[in-house]
Amino acid sequence: MRKLLLLGLALSVFVAFAAPGMAAEKVIKIGYIGALTGDTAVWGQAGLNGMKLTAKKVNDAGGVLGSAIEVIGMDGKGKPEDSLNALSKLIDMGVIAVVGTNFSSCNIPMAPVATAKKIPLLATAASDPKVTVDETGKLLEYSFRIGFIDPFQGRVLAAFAIEKLGAKTAAILTDIGSDYSYGLSSYFEEEFRKLGGKIVASEQGRAGDNDYRAQLSKFKTVNPDVILVPWIDKDVALIAKQARELGIKAAFMGGDGWDNQDMITMAGAALEGGYYTSQPSFGREVTKPYYDEYVKTYNIKPETEALFGHDAVMWIVDALKRAGKADSVALKGALENTTGFEGLMGTMNIEKKTHNPVKPCSVMTIKGGKIVYVGDFMPKN
Amino acid sequence: MLAQQLINGLSVGGIYALLSTGYALIYSLLGFSNWAHGEVAMLGAYIAVMSVIAAKLPFVASLALALAGAALISLVNEKFFYRHIRNNNSPTMFLMIAAMGLSTTYKNLIVVLVGPKFKYFPQILPFESFEFCGINVGVLDIFSIVVSLAAIVLLDVLIYHTKFGLGIRGCASDSVTAELLGVNVNRYILIVFLLAGGLAGCAGVLLGMKYTVYPSLGNVALKAFIASVFGGLGSIRGAILGAFMIGILETLVSAYVSSGLRDLFTFGLLIAILLIRPEGLLGKSVEQKS
């Protein structure tokens, strides 16, 4: 395994050095910050590998704006202070933009620095809303992200329920102890109402309460078409089981907190026919050639972070072409005005007020106790 | 819906009762609240679930093991920790602090030895629930109400209608006088810990069957503690009454007031009881309620 990793590293260094050869004079530098060492290095390495693989493809096809792309990886160790140092070093090296990280804790302190230095910073999987807007809701102008924020899944679930499941009424059970659950619920409620649905009951509980039958008994009397349960871990299974015990037949829906085969096995028949959302990944057909090439190049299976790396490079290339010049301020403007960017993770628009992407979520269903990929779904703007 | 909610409340109350009687038993003898009680229940649940999953024992055997195991752990707590503190003539507060320490230790021990992820029992009862006049009753609920009631009735008979129970009540009333009259107080205390442990083990297995088994499962004992304060600390019948009342109150508040405010009501009730009627519903007047 270690040998394979070393080989992968050696290859990636080779790719990085070999690529600029074609246009030695003109190079556009893009930085990447991720945990290249330590416990979470598996993601950081995948992100960097993914970017380098994509940059090579771009360069082989003639580069962008007459220049080659050079990807420079810098170890942020998954820690805020190291990531901040890495950001300063990359800016000193003259990068036009920086990609990374996948940790909100690292991007929250980096975003104001990138904004002050006018260098676009593109977070990958960091999902905290505060990565792109500050405490008061003010936009951090140079901070972007490729992955969607957690509550966005609520919007997708609401649209999916109405358009695909034909739901007219919904009930919501929120974990009041969790920001994640609260955010998903409120986005769901807003979108569901906007699309003409009716929220017939909204109840609260707290993870660890264990018994949710008081709330569920109320749901039974209003008989909703779908029940949103944006919880994580065993409580999802407990809620579903208790609901079935009470004779509730409605389909359950949830976010990526459901992405846990153990929990689904435990719920047994209770979650059957339920739906949940998650970040698009290699389940998508269009990712196949990239997946194969990645495996061929690095001899290791790619993590989802590699897809983020790919989409980040392609998004920057797309924005540079639209900006017409290799300048970080112009690049920021072009990134902000992105509509219909086609990445491997789906079509992406950018919300100007928040710099959050509007893009498809992968929708999964539970069939025969197993997680089955249904397809990608995106709410209409 | 009211009938359905009452059934929901009774089934929660039954489990609270198994735990609250344990608090009452120990409080009546030693005058302190055994904060490690919930963890004894949690350990019982782990013994049962691991012997079903890992050792593939039949359920009845694992239930027996859990009861015995939890009783034994409770006994160890008394024999190796609480007794020494009493013999040192330390203040009662020290017993409570030791109990808190044991509670944290057991929780972390399980995290280290078994891991933080939840475990669950395979389906043991054949049916999930049945419908009766529009009310859905879980088979597991009936099972747990029957088991809880049986255990509670047995305990009540033992404490209030046998010579052995008279001994316990004697020690509870005044341990010094009981000792002077030739009662072996320490032996009674040991037996009470065994009893409380067994009840906790039973509650743990029922909790685990209904709500899965995980390291902080014992936290539910906090509600049982409130029930025992509500019913009157040290009063066993009061603890039972308090448990069912808290169970029903919680479901009714969730159903008719607000599910988000449920715990506020429960803990508010605890404060109100301590302020207005510190001896609880059935308790005798006592000065120290900690």
Residues of B in contact with A203 (CB under 8 A): 254, 259
Name which of A87-91, A202-206, A232-236 the model is least confident about: A232-236
* 8 A C-beta contact, residue B231 and residue B237: yes
User: Which residues are CB-neighbours of A313 under 8 A, at least 6 positions away?
Assistant: A30, A51, A54, A55, A58, A69, A71, A99
Q: What is the pLDDT of residue A237?
A: 92
Helix H or strand E encompassing B177: helix B175-180
Helix (H, G, I), strand (E, B) or coil at A337: coil
Closest to A337 (Cα-Cα) out of A347, A352, A348: A352
**In angstroms, rounded to a whole number, what is the distance separating the alpha carbons of residues B252 and B283?**
25
Helix (H, G, I), strand (E, B) or coil at A97: strand
**In angstroms, rounded to a whole number, what is the distance separating the alpha carbons of residues A345 and A311?**
7
User: Which residues are CB-neighbours of A155 under 8 A, at least 6 positions away?
Assistant: A187, A188, A190, A191, A379
- B280 confidence band (pLDDT: 50, 70, 90): confident
Strand partners of residue A341: A348
**Average pLDDT of B208-215?**
90
Nearest to A215 among B212, B254, B263 (CB): B254
- Position A269 pLDDT exceeds 80: yes
- A2 confidence band (pLDDT: 50, 70, 90): low
If one compares A177 and A349, the residue with the highest pLDDT of the two is A349
Count CB neighbours of B199 within 10 A: 30
Number of CB pairs < 8 Å for A and B? 70
Closest to A230 (Cα-Cα) out of A149, A167, A159, A150: A150
Residue B130 lies in a domain: no
**Average pLDDT of B110-131?**
81
Q: Tell me the pLDDT of chain A averaged across its residues.
A: 90
**In angstroms, rounded to a whole number, what is the distance separating the alpha carbons of residues B78 and B170?**
19
Query: Whole domain around residue B284: which residue ranges?
Result: 2-124+135-289
Q: How many domains does chain B have?
A: 1
Tens-place pLDDT, residues A238-249:
999 999 988 899
Residues of A in contact with B259 (CB under 8 A): 203-205, 214-215
Residue B129 lies in a domain: no
| H helix count then E strand count, chain B | 12, 2
**In angstroms, rounded to a whole number, what is the distance separating the alpha carbons of residues A370 and A269?**
11
Q: What is the pLDDT of residue B290?
A: 38
For chain B, the residues whose C-beta falls within 8 A of a C-beta of chain A are 1, 4-5, 8-9, 12, 117-118, 120, 123, 128-129, 131, 136, 138, 207, 210-212, 214, 216, 219-220, 250-252, 254-255, 258-260, 262-263
Residue B6 lies in a domain: yes
Q: What is the pLDDT of residue A186?
A: 92
**In angstroms, rounded to a whole number, what is the distance separating the alpha carbons of residues A47 and A94?**
21
Nearest to B255 among A217, A266, A268 (CB): A217
**In angstroms, rounded to a whole number, what is the distance separating the alpha carbons of residues B96 and B105?**
14
DSSP code per residue over A221-258: HH--SEEE----THHHHHHHHHHHHTT--PEEEE-GGG
- A74 confidence band (pLDDT: 50, 70, 90): very high
**Average pLDDT of A218-231?**
94
- B133 confidence band (pLDDT: 50, 70, 90): confident
If one compares B173 and A86, the residue with the highest pLDDT of the two is A86
CA angle B179, B181, B186 (to 5 degrees): 25
Nearest to B259 among A203, A241, A266 (CB): A203
- DSSP assignment, residue A379? -
Q: What is the pLDDT of residue B4?
A: 86
Count CB neighbours of B264 within 10 A: 12
* 8 A C-beta contact, residue A145 and residue A122: yes
Residues of A in contact with B9 (CB under 8 A): 214
**Average pLDDT of A1-28?**
57
By C-alpha distance, the chain B residue nearest A240 is B211
The distance of A184 to chain B (nearest Cα, Å) reads 17
The distance of B263 to chain A (nearest Cα, Å) reads 10
Q: What is the pLDDT of residue B288?
A: 43
* 8 A C-beta contact, residue A216 and residue A242: yes
Tens-place pLDDT, residues B2-56:
888 888 898 889 889 889 988 888 888 888 889 999 999 999 999 999 999 998 9
Tens-place pLDDT, residues A316-346:
999 999 999 999 999 999 999 999 999 999 9
Contact A214 B263 (CB under 8 A): no
By C-alpha distance, the chain B residue nearest A247 is B136
Closest to B72 (Cα-Cα) out of B40, B39, B28, B97: B40
**In angstroms, rounded to a whole number, what is the distance separating the alpha carbons of residues A331 and A350?**
14
- Position B127 pLDDT exceeds 80: no
- DSSP assignment, residue B278? T
Tens-place pLDDT, residues A116-148:
999 999 999 888 889 999 989 899 999 999 998
Q: What is the pLDDT of residue A12?
A: 55
- A49 confidence band (pLDDT: 50, 70, 90): very high
Counting residues of chain B whose pLDDT is more than 70, the rounded percentage is 96
- What sign for the dihedral angle of Cα A189, A192, A195, A196? negative
Residue B280 lies in a domain: yes
Residue B160 lies in a domain: yes
Strands, E, within chain A: which ranges?
Answer: 27-34, 68-75, 97-99, 121-123, 143-145, 169-175, 198-205, 226-228, 251-254, 275-278, 341-343, 346-350, 357-358, 361-367, 370-377
Q: Tell me the pLDDT of chain B averaged across its residues.
A: 88
- Position A380 pLDDT exceeds 80: no
Counting residues of chain A whose pLDDT is more than 90, the rounded percentage is 69
By C-alpha distance, the chain B residue nearest A220 is B1
Count CB neighbours of A349 within 10 A: 16
Contact B1 A233 (CB under 8 A): no
What is the phi/psi pair of residue A31, to 5°?
-90, 155
Count CB neighbours of B198 within 10 A: 25
Residues of A in contact with B107 (CB under 8 A): none
> Which region holds residue A273: left if phi is over 0, alpha if psi is between -120 and 50, else beta?
left
For chain A, the residues whose C-beta falls within 8 A of a C-beta of chain B are 176, 203-206, 208, 210-211, 213-215, 217-218, 220-221, 233-234, 237-238, 241-242, 244-247, 262, 266, 268
Contact A262 B117 (CB under 8 A): yes
Helix H or strand E encompassing B138: strand B135-138
Q: What is the pLDDT of residue A338?
A: 94
- DSSP assignment, residue B283? P
- Position A11 pLDDT exceeds 70: no
CA angle A25, A30, A36 (to 5 degrees): 125
CA angle A145, A207, A164 (to 5 degrees): 55
- Position A85 pLDDT exceeds 90: yes
**Average pLDDT of B83-109?**
91
Q: What is the pLDDT of residue B66?
A: 96
Contact B128 A238 (CB under 8 A): no
Residues of B in contact with A218 (CB under 8 A): 1, 255
Token pair listed for A352: 């100007």
Closest to A197 (Cα-Cα) out of A162, A227, A160, A221: A162
Contact B216 A208 (CB under 8 A): yes
Helix H or strand E encompassing B132: strand B129-132
- Position A211 pLDDT exceeds 70: yes
Tens-place pLDDT, residues A142-187:
999 999 888 889 999 999 999 999 999 999 999 988 888 998 999 9
Q: What is the pLDDT of residue A22?
A: 47
CA atoms within a 13 Å half-sphere pointing along the CA-CB vector of A158? 25
- Position B126 pLDDT exceeds 70: no
- What sign for the dihedral angle of Cα A47, A53, A54, A56? positive
Laid out side by side, the sheet with A169-175 consists of A198-205, A169-175, A226-228, A251-254, A275-278, A361-367, A370-377
Contact A210 B219 (CB under 8 A): no
* 8 A C-beta contact, residue A274 and residue A365: yes
Tens-place pLDDT, residues B218-277:
998 999 999 998 988 888 889 999 999 999 999 999 888 888 888 899 899 889 988 988
Residues of B in contact with A246 (CB under 8 A): 4, 129, 136
Helix (H, G, I), strand (E, B) or coil at A276: strand
**What's the CATH number where B45 sits?**
1.10.3470
**In angstroms, rounded to a whole number, what is the distance separating the alpha carbons of residues A307 and A357?**
15
